Amino acid sequence: MTAPASRPAAARRPAGGYIGAPIPRREDARLLTGRGTFVDDLEMPGVAHAAMVRSPHAHARVRRIDTEAARALPGVLAIVTAEDIADIQKPWPARMPSPVPGTSVRHGVRHTLPVAKVRHAGEVVAVVVAESRALAEDARDLVEVEYEVLPVVATAAAALAPGASLVYEELGDNIAAHIIQRVGHPERAFASADHTLRETFRVMRGGSHSMEGRAVVARYDEALDSFTVWDATQAPHAIRAMLAYLFDLPEHRVRVIAPPDVGGGLGPKTSFYPEEALVCWLARRLRRPVKWIEDRLEHFMSAAQEREQVHTVEIAFTRDGALLALRDVFTHDVGMYGALIAPVITACTVPGPYRVPNIHSEFRAAYTNLPPTAAVRGAGRPQGVLVMERMMDRMAETLGLDPAEARFRNLIPADAFPYPVGMVFRDGAPLTYDSGDYPELLRRALEIADYPRARREQAELRAQGRHRGIGVAICVEGVGLGPFEGAILRLDSRGRVVVTSGAPPQGQGYQTAFAQIAADMVGVRFEDVDVVTGDTGAIPYGIGSFASRVTANAGPAIALAGGELRQKILAVAAHLLEAAAADLEIADGAVHVRGLPDRGVPLAQVARLGNGGVAFGMIMPGGLQVGLEASAYFAPSQAGYSASAHVCILDVDPDTGEVAIVRYVVGHDCGNVINPLIVEGQILGGVAHGLSNALYEEAFYDSEGQNLASSFLDYPLPSAREMPRIEMFHLTTPSPINPLGVKGAGEAGTLPVPAAVAGAVEDALRPFGVRVNRMPLNPARISDLMHRA
């Protein structure tokens, strides 16, 4: 029934090496044929299924939980509440401290199951395990929970108001952090400037909506008193640390495996969640594997979200359009729990690619009775870009300048790197841009968009009563965050190089990209490299896949270990070939004396000697070191800084509020590129996420903290029909902070999209005086803007 077709092209070593070549992904064939390895696909004999009992209230005391009726249902194995799991009901450890000296984060203490009260609608209060998921859900619906409803704070503003209901009583208020960063003398600059502008912008909450939700299966081995946990996580080592802490086990007895296939992560799968502890506890109690697969409603209710911020921003500038000062004061909604990743990044993203000599940046992050927050693709950056780029548009309008020209007048020049902004970034290092060429990036984006012609066409269309707008946005993105990632490389008995690294992929193609780096560094063929990721049993330490960080952390680690492994291989081969290591080369699965292809030894033979000696009991010959293995951890001194320039040309129908994108140009600089095919895919996906944020996705919570848009029917994501064709180019300014010269690309596409779309819509509707200060720009909001204009 299937016509055989050509295999994906085998990767030939391109001139100059595999690094930089658009090699098709080795992951694809299994995913395209339905043979992937997602958590819910794994064969798990005897598995029992968990279903969570979740609070319908956003803030309530749990008075009583009646499980009797549920327990009576045939097929129910256990029902567990907070009292039952007392042995693991420890306070969760404090999360990220403030990276800004002199400031601090106030941590609300959370437990696996809520002690006394729930803090968001969707929080787990009990868990049911049964022979099937359907039975578990039947029983879940029979669990009766009596709540005493408490007053809810559903926005940061409500949480910060005097007398607000407290999410964590012990803190005395709802403030998670109040962080101020200052550069220069902003008050003086504002007082003496030719012009100042002040605006307020609001960005909505949103979810990641990876197509696979959270997913976890745990198995407990009684004889070894150890757990094996298959988890669709972005950070298996962090999950291991939490489980080891909660269960009071040494880390080596908790093995967390993020399978090779995870169905997207996009941020929220970096966090630890109660469900991960609960399935482990239940697996130990039942002596059976226990599985929990998040459904979409649960993803809407309980997976981490992000983005909700309200900014009041002011800029001061000269009559020539030179920025003098920036004052950005904003609130950030943390939800009931969350690290302060996003707002710290937002604050540092606002100044962007511009010289801003004086800055006052201040935010207050507030706990609310909404679901927890973490990073969602972009992680605070899209908000920062929106704020700054909207202000650049307003400055241009005030001065009668072209928006692109207003930007050119303020861009950091290409010869100014490293460029210190004067703030401290989320990684704790100074916010100092490593490399870039922002004027060239913007110039080329405008050139590809044929900007002057686009402006002429806009004028012609406007004369005909049509509403075309052009938006320009440019941004800088802190990427490649530390602390480190590691790699272990070894030559196995078949002569294949095995690369092991801690961070797991969720679609980013590590099995391909890591193999490209290793093949070049060791000097072997791409097809002779295997890649293992995301298994705490395979590499002792790792951090995870987030913050567009893996290529800039794991990449250099693979390169460093690869170079060392190569030397070890050559030393053993030198013994076998009775030649000097310096005279050897590796080619076609063997080590040869250079220029003498007949005088060689297969890598498998080198491995047998190097890893096993001559035979049991016999001495290693020639004083050879044992073990064709090398490991390296790479810890960057600071983040790298990628950059993007987007040009969006669109038409708005003022009657219906519909937006039609005519052209969308993306310029991107992430330093050196390992695999352009993969990087372009990352950018395209990021742009789609950004357009989704800009035009479609909108979370609605009422004042009681109830999610009013909790399905894809109410919370639309764009399909292929809504997505325009993206025109893309790369600029390459290699990073000086790691040996590969790479930065990061995973989130880049998302960042400037809301800003570019907002600029274009406001530009299109300029004849009506429409002001775009809030996203998303769906037809209803545009109609509303028209009505108010």
Closer to other proteins by Cβ: residue 618 or 713: 713
CA 214 – CA 205 distance, rounded (Å): 19
188 is a site residue for other proteins (CB under 8 A): no
685 is a site residue for other proteins (CB under 8 A): yes
In this structure, are residues 702 and 152 in contact, taking their beta carbons and an 8 Å threshold? no
- State the minimum distance, in angstroms, from the CB of residue 208 to other proteins: 8
Q: Residue 281 corresponds to which tokens in the numbers above?
A: 């506890």
Selected from 538, 604, 677, 786, the binder of other proteins by CB under 8 A is: 677
How many residues of this chain interact with other proteins, rule: CB under 8 A?
66
- State the minimum distance, in angstroms, from the CB of residue 238 to other proteins: 20
723 is a site residue for other proteins (CB under 8 A): yes
Fill in the amino acid letter for 234: Q
Q: Which stretch binds other proteins (CB under 8 A): 184-192, 289-297, 357-365, 550-558?
A: 289-297
In angstroms, what CA-CA distances link 48 with 83, 154, 256?
22, 36, 19
263 is a site residue for other proteins (CB under 8 A): yes
- State the minimum distance, in angstroms, from the CB of residue 155 to other proteins: 27
Alpha carbon 485 to chain centroid, angstroms: 16
Kindly identify the residues of this chain, within the stretch 382-441, that bind other proteins according to CB under 8 A: none
236 is a site residue for other proteins (CB under 8 A): no
Closer to other proteins by Cβ: residue 123 or 261: 261
45 is a site residue for other proteins (CB under 8 A): no
Selected from 159, 554, 572, 726, the binder of other proteins by CB under 8 A is: 726
688 is a site residue for other proteins (CB under 8 A): yes
- Residues 291-330, one symbol each (x = binds other proteins by CB under 8 A, - = not), give ----xxx---------------------------------
Alpha carbon 132 to chain centroid, angstroms: 33
Q: Residue 2 corresponds to which tokens in the numbers above?
A: 């299937």
Kindly report the length of the chain.
789
Selected from 158, 262, 607, 661, the binder of other proteins by CB under 8 A is: 262
696 is a site residue for other proteins (CB under 8 A): no
Tokens 């064939």: give the residue. 29
Selected from 60, 386, 591, 678, the binder of other proteins by CB under 8 A is: 678
Residue closest to 497 by CA, chosen among 558, 582, 585? 558
Q: Which stretch binds other proteins (CB under 8 A): 194-202, 600-608, 634-642, 679-687?
A: 679-687
If one counts every other C-beta atom within 10 angstroms of the C-beta of residue 191, the result is: 11
Q: Kindly state the helix (H) or strand (E) to which residue 288 belongs, with its residue range.
A: none
Helices (H), 233-293: 236-247, 274-286
681 is a site residue for other proteins (CB under 8 A): yes
Closer to other proteins by Cβ: residue 700 or 712: 712
Burial group, residue 747, by CB count within 10 angstroms (0-12, 13-18, 19+): buried
- Residues 127-166, one symbol each (x = binds other proteins by CB under 8 A, - = not), give -------xx--x----------------------------
Kindly identify the residues of this chain, within the stretch 743-772, that bind other proteins according to CB under 8 A: 749
94 is a site residue for other proteins (CB under 8 A): no
Tokens 């274009």: give the residue. 760
CA 509, 515, 516, 517 torsion: positive or negative?
positive
Residue closest to 772 by CA, chosen among 393, 410, 473? 393
DSSP readout, 450-488?
THHHHHHHHHHHHHTT--EEEEEEEEEEEES--S-EEEE
Tokens 């989130």: give the residue. 747
Closer to other proteins by Cβ: residue 284 or 299: 299
- Residues 192-211, one symbol each (x = binds other proteins by CB under 8 A, - = not), give ----------------xxxx
- Residues 589-608, one symbol each (x = binds other proteins by CB under 8 A, - = not), give --------------------
Q: Which stretch binds other proteins (CB under 8 A): 290-298, 524-532, 592-600, 629-637?
A: 290-298
CA 305 – CA 371 distance, rounded (Å): 7
HSE value, Cβ hemisphere, 13 Å, CA-based, for 209: 20
464 is a site residue for other proteins (CB under 8 A): no
Closer to other proteins by Cβ: residue 464 or 719: 719
Fill in the amino acid letter for 591: V
Q: Residue 686 corresponds to which tokens in the numbers above?
A: 């990021």
In this structure, are residues 211 and 231 in contact, taking their beta carbons and an 8 Å threshold? no
Selected from 274, 335, 509, 759, the binder of other proteins by CB under 8 A is: 509
Q: Is 39 helix (H, G, I), strand (E, B) or coil?
A: helix
Helices (H), 592-640: 603-612
In this structure, are residues 282 and 80 in contact, taking their beta carbons and an 8 Å threshold? yes
Q: Which stretch binds other proteins (CB under 8 A): 86-94, 157-165, 336-344, 708-716?
A: 708-716
Q: Residue 474 corresponds to which tokens in the numbers above?
A: 């440019």
Closer to other proteins by Cβ: residue 14 or 681: 681
Selected from 17, 41, 429, 611, the binder of other proteins by CB under 8 A is: 41
Q: What's the maximum distance between 2 C-alpha atoms anywhere in the chain?
A: 91
Selected from 15, 16, 33, 578, the binder of other proteins by CB under 8 A is: 33
Closer to other proteins by Cβ: residue 134 or 459: 134
- State the minimum distance, in angstroms, from the CB of residue 3 to other proteins: 6
- State the minimum distance, in angstroms, from the CB of residue 1 to other proteins: 6
- State the minimum distance, in angstroms, from the CB of residue 545 to other proteins: 12
508 is a site residue for other proteins (CB under 8 A): yes
CA 481 – CA 640 distance, rounded (Å): 7
34 is a site residue for other proteins (CB under 8 A): yes
Q: Is 217 helix (H, G, I), strand (E, B) or coil?
A: strand
504 is a site residue for other proteins (CB under 8 A): no
Q: Residue 100 corresponds to which tokens in the numbers above?
A: 């800004």
733 is a site residue for other proteins (CB under 8 A): no
212 is a site residue for other proteins (CB under 8 A): yes
Selected from 620, 717, 734, 786, the binder of other proteins by CB under 8 A is: 717
- State the minimum distance, in angstroms, from the CB of residue 677 to other proteins: 5
Q: Which stretch binds other proteins (CB under 8 A): 90-98, 220-228, 270-278, 506-514?
A: 506-514
Q: Residue 21 corresponds to which tokens in the numbers above?
A: 């070549």
Can you say whether residue 652 is alpha, beta or left, with left for phi > 0 and alpha for psi between -120 and 50 degrees?
beta
Selected from 64, 453, 725, 787, the binder of other proteins by CB under 8 A is: 725
Residues 640-663: b if buried by 16+ CB within 10 A, e if exposed: bbbbbbbbbbbbbebeebebebeb
24 is a site residue for other proteins (CB under 8 A): yes
In this structure, are residues 784 and 702 in contact, taking their beta carbons and an 8 Å threshold? no
Residue closest to 761 by CA, chosen among 749, 750, 771? 771
CA 173 – CA 312 distance, rounded (Å): 22
Kindly identify the residues of this chain, within the stretch 540-559, that bind other proteins according to CB under 8 A: none
Please list the residues that pair with 666 across neighbouring strands: 646, 728
Enumerate binding residues for other proteins (CB under 8 A): 1-9, 24-25, 27-36, 38, 40-41, 43, 134-135, 138, 208-212, 261-264, 266, 295-297, 506-509, 677-678, 680-681, 684-689, 711-713, 717, 719-721, 723, 725-726, 749
